[in-house]
Amino acid sequence: MDTETLVASLSAELRRDPRDVNALVEGFVSAIRDALVDGDTVLLPGFGTFSTVKEEEKVVDDLAGGGRLLLPPAITVTFTPSTLLRRKIVDRP
Amino acid sequence: MNDKMTFHRIADSIAAATGGTAEEAATFLRALLDKSAETLARGEKVNISGIGTFAPGETSEEAVLWAPDRSLADAVNEPFAAFEAVPLANGITEQQLSQPVAPAGLSVPAAVTELPSAEVVEASVDNLSEPSDVVVPADEVASSDAQVAETIPEPIVAEMESSPSDDSAECSGGDEALGHTEPSAVSDDAGRSIEKPVSPLMEPSESVVESVVEPSEPKVIYRNVNDGPNPWIMLLVGVVVGLCMGYFLGMNFGYLRSSISHDTVEDEIELLEEEEANVQEQINSFDASGDNMVSDEAEEIAAPVAETAETEVVPQTQKAESPKVITDTVDKKNYLTTMARKYYGNHCFWVYIYEENAAILKNPDLIRPGTVVVIPPAEKYGIDASDPESVRRATAKIAELEHRFKGKR
């Protein structure tokens, strides 16, 4: 399910104009991005948690080039599904 | 920063972004999450543009496989977006990378090489502080470091600005130019090598580190408490010394005071004894002058005086020239009458003692104890206890005094 399908489904369910729903989706994405950029943790009950993790610089083997690479530090985003979502997925038929 | 965005706060943010109400945003958010969860529970993927792709997993530990959207990952990693992975040259260890970085003003040129042996490169400060864009001929570098076996690899900072492919090309080109050594400078078209600064993350070698002069920074020197004597012990020693000095000074001062007072008392005793002897001598002289008042004791005293008269001529003349005034003190057992009987032989002669001291005695019936009176010589008032006329005159004077001070008590 891509974004357009999701918007259409939500529009039908909420009985709202798809453009409004699309605006809401964009607002949702913007809110999540702004919170993560600020280093905040986003808690979505029944779905999961978005958080950021800072990884220090490290030296890894460059399998393609045959040498070693010095990877700079980076901030990555992680998602941890909630217990309810995990149970739904694992217990699916 | 490090805050927690809850469901309602996200809904509020959505409402603020879309201009709707918080309730509408909350309803939409709940529907979005439920729809996404149902889709994942059916085993389908959910792709939300700007967030990422959620895919159902097989195990409980990996129930959801999530791949963040490129735009989201870049936005979050924006503080470190300028850095890229760089290849490390041989000889660089992770320990060297973890060493503290050199100051920015003391960037070490990449041309500085480490010697294979234990020789220390005596790099001058001027050479170390050269700007990074200084151009040095490659020939000069090669000739000055003839013993160089291996050069420092290219700086990381320079590498990060170029692509990995370019880096490999430069490295290979450097190998061709300097043989088995890895190049530290990039050759330009004019055949000159351009030195590049070494990244602060890379410390070329210990020899270079030794040659780098650290900038003068204010140093805070903390005094070690264990150094020097213990201040409490010094305080205790000071107190003990002070007590000892006070004790000796007190002893010496007390000794001086006691010796001074002792001397003073002795002097006073001697003076009193001398006065007493003079008084006794005058009494003897008074007794000797009267015919009926000669006593055995007076004779005994007068005898030795007569015997020693010849030997004490000079002292007697001196006493005659300066006769001493006889004084006595009135107290509860020594009245004027007592004195008159003592010095003149009859108590009625007290009136002459009173007349002699009339200026200080005032009323003869109100004499305070402790009053010192002068005992006049008997010749002054014609006192003679054996003479009835003298006694009569004294009695008449007493009657006159009583009449004068009658009713003034």
- For residues B167 and B254, membership in a common domain is answered with no
Instruction: Delimit the domains of chain A by residue range.
Output: 1-39, 41-93
Asked whether residue B133 is assigned to any structural domain, the reply reads yes
Whether residue B308 is found in the same domain as residue B341: no
Pick the CATH number of A41-93 from 1.20.120.160, 2.40.50.180, 4.10.520.10, 3.40.50.720: 4.10.520.10
Please choose, from the candidates B178, B130, B122, the residue with its C-alpha nearest in 3D space to the C-alpha of residue B154: B178
Rounded Cα distance between A48 and A85, Å, is: 8
> What per-residue confidence (pLDDT) applies to B224?
60
Q: What range defines the domain where residue B195 resides?
A: 104-211
* Concatenated DSSP letters of B188-235: -TTS-EEE-BPPTT----HHHHHHSPPPP----PPPPTTSS--HHHHH
**Cβ within 8 Å of residue B167, ≥6 positions away:** B86, B87, B154, B159
Report CA-CA distances (Å) from A83 to A89, B39, B62: 10, 16, 12
**Whole-number pLDDT of residue B291:** 46
- Both B304 and B332 in one domain: the answer is no
In a domain, B228, yes or no: no
**B170 with B245, same domain?**
no
Among A71-80, B151-160, B182-191, top mean pLDDT goes to A71-80
Q: Which of B306, B316, B291 is nearest to B378 (CA)?
A: B291
In a domain, B86, yes or no: no
**CA-wise closest residue to A52 among B315, B2, B88, B350:** B2
Same domain, B137 and B182: yes
Residues B136, B206 within the same domain? yes
State in Å, rounded, how far the first CA of chain B is from the last one.
110
Q: Looking at A78-92, B81-95, B166-180, B210-224, which range is the least confident one?
A: B166-180
The answer to whether residue B298 is domain-embedded is yes
- Least confident among B22-26, B177-181, B272-276, B397-401: B177-181
Residue contact B37–A26, C-beta within 8 A: no
Counting Cβ atoms within 10 Å, is residue A7 exposed (0-12), middle (13-18) or buried (19+)?
A: buried
Predicted confidence band of residue B236 (pLDDT cuts 50, 70, 90): very high
Q: Are residues B337 and B370 in the same domain?
A: yes
- pLDDT band at A85, cuts 50/70/90? confident
Residue A45: CA count within 13 A, CB half-sphere:
7
Q: Could you say which of B211, B227, B246 is where a domain stops?
A: B211
Instruction: Tell me if B89 sits within 8 A of B161, measured CB to CB.
Output: no
pLDDT digits (tens, 9 = 90+) for A44-74: 998 899 999 988 888 887 777 777 788 888 8
Distance from CA of A34 to the nearest CA of B (A): 9
Q: Do B18 and A23 touch (CB under 8 A)?
A: yes
- pLDDT above 80 (res B43): yes
In a domain, residue B131? The reply is yes
Q: How far apart are CA B318 and CA B327, in angstroms?
A: 20
Q: Which long-range contacts (CB under 8 A, 24 or more apart) does A68-71 make?
A: A68/B87, A68/B88, A69/B85, A69/B86, A69/B87, A69/B88, A70/B85, A70/B86, A70/B87, A70/B88, A70/B97, A70/B156, A70/B201, A71/B85
DSSP 3-state of B64:
strand
Residues B350, B384 within the same domain: yes
Q: How confident is the model at residue B380 (pLDDT cuts 50, 70, 90)?
A: confident
Residue that has been written with the tokens 């992770």 in this structure: B94
CA angle B301, B307, B310 (to 5 degrees): 125
Band (pLDDT 50/70/90 cuts) for residue A1 is: confident
Q: Which B residues, 153 through 182, put their C-beta within 8 Å of a C-beta on chain A?
A: 156, 164, 168
Indicate which CATH number applies to the domain containing B16.
4.10.520.10
Nearest to B56 among A6, A46, A89 (CB): A89
Q: Is residue B89 part of a domain?
A: no
The tens digit of pLDDT for each residue in B134-174 reads: 444 444 444 444 444 344 444 444 444 444 444 443 434 33
Measured CA to CA, the distance from residue B92 to residue B141 in angstroms comes to 22
For chain B, what is the domain count? 4
Domain boundary residue among B159, B177, B211?
A: B211
Within-domain flag for B1 = no
Strand B185-187 relative to strand B193-195, pairing = antiparallel
The mean-pLDDT minimum among A79-88, B86-95, B209-218, B281-290 falls in B209-218
Could you tell me if residue B98 is inside a domain? no
Spatial distance between the Cα atoms of B146 and B255, rounded to a whole number of angstroms: 93
Return the structure tokens found at B235: 């305080």
The Cα B307–Cα B287 span in angstroms is: 18
Q: Which of A13, A71, A92 sits opposite B85 (nearest CB)?
A: A71
Distance between CA atoms of B238 and B245, rounded to whole angstroms?
11
pLDDT class of B269 with cuts at 50, 70, 90: low
Phi/psi zone of residue B345: left (φ > 0), alpha (ψ -120 to 50 degrees), beta?
Answer: left
Give the separation between CA B112 and CA B126, rounded to whole angstroms: 13
Nearest to B90 by CA among A67, A62, A72, A59: A67
Q: Is the pLDDT of residue B303 over 80?
A: no
Average pLDDT over residues B318-346: 79
- Does the distance separating the beta carbons of B5 and A40 come in below 8 Å? yes
What is the rounded CA–CA span in Å between residue B194 and residue A17?
63
Alpha helices in B290-377 (DSSP H): 296-307, 313-321, 336-344, 350-356, 358-361
Domain check: are B181 and B116 in the same one?
yes
Query: Are residues A46 and B37, on separate chains, in Cβ contact within 8 Å?
Result: yes
Q: Which residues of A touch B31 (CB under 8 A)?
A: 10, 13-14
What burial letters (b/e) apply to B137-155, b meaning 16+ CB within 10 Å?
A: ebeebbeebeebebbbbbb
β-strand pairing of B4-5 with A41-44: parallel
* List of chain B residues whose C-beta atoms are within 8 Å of the C-beta of residue A30: 13, 17, 50
Global ipTM? 0.87
B263 and B278 assigned to the same domain: yes
Residue B15 near residue B25 (C-beta atoms within 8 A): yes
Domain CATH number, residue B385:
3.10.350
Distance from C-alpha of B205 to C-alpha of B115, rounded to nearest angstrom: 9
- Tell me the pLDDT tens digit for each residue of B335-375: 888 888 888 888 889 989 988 888 888 788 888 888 888 89
- Nearest Cα to Cα of residue B51 among B73, B28, B30, B27: B73
* Pairwise CA distance, residues B232 & A3, whole Å: 79
